[in-house]
Amino acid sequence: MVLRYVSDHIAAFFQVVVYAKHSVMNYSKLAFTDAIKQLQEKQGSRLAYDRVEKMSYVDGLTDAEIEFIGQRDSFYMASFSENEYPYIQHRGGPKGFIKVIDNSTIGIVDFTGNRQYISVGNISKNAKVSLILVSYPQRARLKIYAEAEIVELDENPELYQLLKPADYKFKPERMMIFKIKAYDWNCQQHITPRFSVPEIEELVAPQKRYIISLEEEVKRLKEELAKKNNIS
């Protein structure tokens, strides 16, 4: 199956792993189990969320989610062990290391880490995962239900070329593909704004330029004043 990949660096068609066509997504329908609905009923929120559930059908990722995902340099992933305990892992890389393959599929290159392989082992037994992507400066949080697939590097070289980050030092071990089953945005409440060093530098860059211009102006005025004093 030939898939067209949306990418700033690749404008071509690749023959890659065949992924099943996505279905219409509804986060509330997937998230709200009977036990959760009973609790919502008890707490008085079920009526509102019943309306949300009936209205929350989406046909994959929209441009807003695609742009948001493409700007992230990390995410959190929950997988499920054979002992039934969930495992939460932080995944990081350069900005844009999470690639959008199509509007229901995203993927990453799995870098060499501490070699415990907890997430990979969990996924080999249970493909279901949950992802949370956060922009702390924007106080925005995207939550995703997905099924993960492990793809070895030699299984699909074309896919690796799509997923590998540019201008970033890493050692690849495998690829992870996430077939999105549902997603939703969280509210901003209780998300503390945090900024990376590059983000802070970008914010203060105009002030730095202004300070430099003032320093140059002061230097020029001092030189002019010194010349006048010498003349007098």
Supply the pTM of this predicted model: 0.81
**Quick one: average pLDDT of 31-40?**
96
Q: Which pLDDT band holds residue 19 (cuts at 50, 70, 90)?
A: very low
Question: Which residue has better confidence, 152 or 228?
Answer: 152
**Nearest-angstrom CA–CA distance, 57 and 30:** 11
Q: What is the pLDDT of residue 7?
A: 41
Residues with Cβ within 8 Å of 59's Cβ and at least 6 positions away in sequence, in order, are 24, 25, 103
Residue 104, both tokens: 């229901």
Is residue 14 pLDDT above 50, yes or no? no
Both ends of the chain: CA-CA distance in Å? 86
The model's pLDDT over 85-115, given as tens digits with 9 standing for 90+, comes to: 999 999 999 999 999 999 999 999 999 999 9
**Quick one: average pLDDT of 53-79?**
95
Residues with Cβ within 8 Å of 127's Cβ and at least 6 positions away in sequence, in order, are 147, 148, 149
Collapsing DSSP to helix, strand or coil, 217 comes out as: helix
**Quick one: average pLDDT of 8-22?**
39
**Nearest-angstrom CA–CA distance, 46 and 33:** 12
The dihedral region occupied by 12, where left means phi > 0, alpha psi between -120 and 50, and beta the remainder, is beta
The model's pLDDT over 121-134, given as tens digits with 9 standing for 90+, comes to: 999 999 999 999 99
| Eight-state DSSP code of residue 187 | P
| Eight-state DSSP code of residue 20 | P
Residues with Cβ within 8 Å of 13's Cβ and at least 6 positions away in sequence, in order, are 2, 3, 4
**Quick one: average pLDDT of 169-174?**
96
- Write phi, then psi, for 77 (nearest 5 degrees): -130, 130
**Nearest-angstrom CA–CA distance, 182 and 205:** 39
Average model confidence (pLDDT) across the chain: 90
Question: 212 with 204: CB under 8 angstroms?
Answer: no
**Nearest-angstrom CA–CA distance, 160 and 5:** 13
| Eight-state DSSP code of residue 167 | S
Q: How many CB atoms lie within 10 A of CB 2?
A: 8
